[in-house]
A and B are shown apart, each in its own frame.
Chain A
Amino acid sequence: GENVEQHPSTLSVQEGDSAVIKCTYSDSASNYFPWYKQELGKRPQLIIDIRSNVGEKKDQRIAVTLNKTAKHFSLHITETQPEDSAVYFCASFKAAGNKLTFGGGTRVLVKP
């Protein structure tokens, strides 16, 4: 089955700096890659996603890149703010089986 690896597990950055989280997946049939932000005690919420026919997508301070050949995708947060502090999960989706597989999560701490 699909395996999603996520690094780093924790990330501490100074406010205003950039944060980068990297994920790899194993199943070449996966075709949709969302990123979720989870604040303490709350549900995961989608922040950005990318489909397999696109290499990069940007939404304000957040961008995601996808390298299908290498089966890598990354989340980039620029100009980090304290409210960006949360756990971020990458995920990969395979249409067959309708299965969304999550990475292990990255705890991001933005220090003021």
Chain B
Amino acid sequence: EPEVTQTPSHQVTQMGQEVILRCVPISNHLYFYWYRQILGQKVEFLVSFYNNEISEKSEIFDDQFSVERPDGSNFTLKIRSTKLEDSAMYFCASSAGLPNTEAFFGQGTRLTVV
């Protein structure tokens, strides 16, 4: 069964450093998402991406965040200058699009900023 894959599974970084989280969505999917989950809390929407551009972003997704689909298969989330409060599990998801709006989630990348 096809699945969304994310790398790395765990990333530890120093405060102020840049990190890139990588995702490979399901191959025929057209819509891509990043979500964040702080330990023990709800899953929070960061950004949706379709047709090589951002469809919507949340207030969390400020100028420190960016997304890219560099090569037609990868979908990346970059955080330019990490803060302690960026520590969370980051989930990538993809969906085929209407009418099949089911979003499939990757296994997540646990980001720890120290």
Which DSSP category, helix, strand, loop or mixed, fits chain B's interface?
strand
Contact B43 A89 (CB under 8 A): yes
Binds A, one of B18-26, B67-75, B76-84, B103-111: B103-111
A-side interface size class: 20 to 34
Q: Tell me if B56 and A97 are in contact (CB < 8 A).
A: yes
Encode A48-83 as 1/0 by CB contact (under 8 A) with B.
010000000000000000000000000000000000
User: Chain A binding site: helix, strand, loop or mixed by DSSP?
Assistant: strand
User: Is there an interface contact between B43 and A34, defined as CB atoms closer than 8 Å?
Assistant: no
Closest beta carbon of chain B to A49's beta carbon, Å: 7
Q: Is B28's beta carbon under 8 Å from chain A?
A: no
- Partner-B contacts on A (CB < 8 A): 32, 34, 36, 38, 42-46, 49, 89, 93, 95, 97-105
